[in-house]
Structure 1
């Protein structure tokens, strides 16, 4: 095993290690970003959802364009820019509350008290900070995968991407895991200090790039911005592809609730002792455990069949998340641990989401490439993640509205009883997402039948 691992270059290992660090930094912050925006900066659920959605959407839309720039200026220069921006951005998220407190807009010394922040425009300084992180992160998505492809051979490329995928999930797992201990020791202020952890991770990555990253990737290669823009226009006017993107957007709108709705929902409904960051780790764990088995099991089936199976799992996931509110409010004692019914059903729902992802994600790119014009698959695949751009904005935006309507912030109410009356139908949130998932699943079946008929007609001509 170790002899096989020796076949990879120093640039390959450096890229994978900094990917682990970057994912740890990103997921540590992103799993609680809506909580940070609401509890630390005082944004409403709707405002927090919109800010987070645009941020997440930009991270999926920009990489195609920043990837073209990376080809021009070189991968090392791109990574230096990326980790510099990320370090500045995460540090900005950490220092902003201190700056707001220093001018008397908020008091973080005990229970967080807003003393003018809710009426001030100063808190919107968060927007340029998040744009900095968004631009930095967009370089990472294209450059790291590009490095893995460039620094491997035909013989070890599959193993190289397997290592990369493992690093991504280790980083995601570790970043989410650290949030709970910070909250236990610091309360809501832990949402601030997680940003210093992320700053440290990206600074270490920056130092590693400076001293250890030497890639054979040369600048000046790859697609031009004109070619990328032309491809985007072609995709937008390709009815078959844009319909597929819109259908898959329904799946990802539900999947994004892992970050948009779940953290606030479980803390409000199951209590402050809940661990949303740990529950979220069920997702990468289940994906890693099932994706290979599911892909092999579906190998003899069409991509559309596998995707449809996954799409019909998603409504069950949302129903499971809703069902926690059907049980009594007391914790269930399992002997070694006691856990709230809402938390239990949330974990089951997240596991079902991950299983659905194992059916859908590996086959989506394959199916998308089949629908792309012959000879232009690579160019079109650059835009295969447009669904994540759309689902981030729509999913986070809808989440903010639904939270404010069915599961509002308890601090907005004078008494616990008043809040309980306002949130009695909190689980309705998940019915909306179950309906979205079911609509997407049925639409995918219709889509498959329509393109089969179109292809049959085309073959007769």
Structure 2
């Protein structure tokens, strides 16, 4: 007779979410300021770097790409040498130092050194925290998908606050003060983690997965079997498709942010909303919509009508495409790609675009983490989390290139192209979803 199905999540999950919340606050607080900091004039009231919009878009793309590329190498080190917990701590310290360097001066050397350190720190931090969440649950535990969605939803509470807090500080005391506030957040969250984690996490993530596998004689040491190879193939196929989702989604921090600054009417009752605050719309919607979406998907799953992982991801990409159609609407309301900043589009276009991109994100991002933790061979989960983040690295680089050509090609062309292309990729993903589900061999 089977025992009762567990519904409550372990306390360790919330400790990991606390660490992630501080790191995500620091990243998204910094990200909300970054493109504006780069284009701000050097002698201005809140002085910046004085770069062109095109150069800033490329730098933004290369930086965010590196933040998602380095986790591949960090995941390898965690699996083979460091263990997840040590890797997480190393990453947090490097991120903290990087933010402080970035906050120290608006000279070229501290600027690029700070961004490089933040990217390197993400390489250690990102793959390990999501890997440890997967290790809290046995293979086949139905709570795993909801754990990743809960993780995603709760840390987005801090992501919501980050642009408001760091943006407000930047307006009052300058961009570099906003970067310093981001550093303080990651320091506080990690202090809590270091105090509580040893007693609550116990051995989770303490030792490298490769060492644990080698010390356990019961585990097979044979080459990957056909089922494992098929599952890895699914990871790579879905990784390829989500590149196009994230390249569009990341326009929120670059081209959409610059478009909002210039061409969106940000006034309500005579009060002008800072551009950085619009970066809080997405995490607020994640926090509000996460529970209802999780409940609906769980309800469908309990009645054997659940959506498979490939189907959820295909729907997510289509929803993002719909969101960009509303950005095309914003451009059309202004009469097209005209340079006159006095002609503004309504704020509603932007807010509805964020709504659809958030719905797409909730269907795709947390499910992706769960999918990797289920499909990757147990001793290679950290590495494949890094591989999954690698798709985001390519996407961010592509997204930066897209943002850099907006001034020359026009926002209507770029927003329209993203809308159509991402929707087509989503439809293709739905079309091949049954084939992908077959290759997953029951691990959905």
Asked if these proteins are the same fold (TM beyond 0.5), I'd say yes
Find the residue that maps to 1:178 and give its secondary structure.
helix
**Hey, what does 1:416 align to over in structure 2?**
none
* TM-fit CA distance, 1:298: 5.9
**Hey, what does 2:126 align to over in structure 1?**
141
1:128 to 113, 119, 122: 113
Whether the 8 Å CA contact 1:247–1:443 is kept in 2: the answer is no
CA distance in 2, matches of 1:155, 1:368: 15
Whether the 8 Å CA contact 2:156–2:286 is kept in 1: the answer is no
Whether the 8 Å CA contact 2:67–2:122 is kept in 1: the answer is yes
2:348 to 344, 348, 356: 344
* TM-fit CA distance, 1:395: 0.9
Deviation string, structure 1 residues 23-44 (Cα, Å, up to 9, x no partner): 1111111122222222211222
The TM-score normalised by the length of structure 1 is 0.70
Find the residue that maps to 1:352 and give its secondary structure.
helix
Change (3 A) 1:325 1:298: farther
Deviation string, structure 1 residues 175-207 (Cα, Å, up to 9, x no partner): 122144235435xx3x22210101211232344
1:93 equivalent to 2:79? Answer no
Change (3 A) 1:219 1:182: closer
CA distance in 1, matches of 2:377, 2:172: 57
1:8 to 6, 11, 16: 11
Report the count of equivalent residues.
387
Change (3 A) 1:83 1:48: same
**Hey, what does 1:197 align to over in structure 2?**
181
Task: Using the TM superposition, name which of 19-28 and 202-211 deviates more.
Answer: 202-211
Deviation string, structure 1 residues 138-187 (Cα, Å, up to 9, x no partner): 3222333345455678798788656533431111111122144235435x
**Hey, what does 1:295 align to over in structure 2?**
297
Whether the 8 Å CA contact 2:265–2:345 is kept in 1: the answer is no
**Unpaired stretches in structure 1, ≥5 consecutive residues:** 101-122, 330-339, 407-424, 456-461
The TM-score normalised by the length of structure 2 is 0.72
**Hey, what does 2:162 align to over in structure 1?**
175
**Which of structures 1 and 2 has the bigger CA Rg?**
1
CA distance in 2, matches of 1:398, 1:328: 21
CA distance in 2, matches of 1:26, 1:178: 13
* TM-fit CA distance, 1:380: 7.8
Task: Using the TM superposition, name which of 283-292 and 393-402 deviates more.
Answer: 283-292
**Hey, what does 2:65 align to over in structure 1?**
57
Whether the 8 Å CA contact 1:28–1:198 is kept in 2: the answer is yes
Change (3 A) 1:47 1:247: same
**Hey, what does 1:312 align to over in structure 2?**
318
RMSD of the TM alignment (CA)? 4.1
Find the residue that maps to 1:62 and give its secondary structure.
helix
Change (3 A) 1:447 1:43: farther
Whether the 8 Å CA contact 1:70–1:143 is kept in 2: the answer is yes
Whether the 8 Å CA contact 1:270–1:343 is kept in 2: the answer is yes
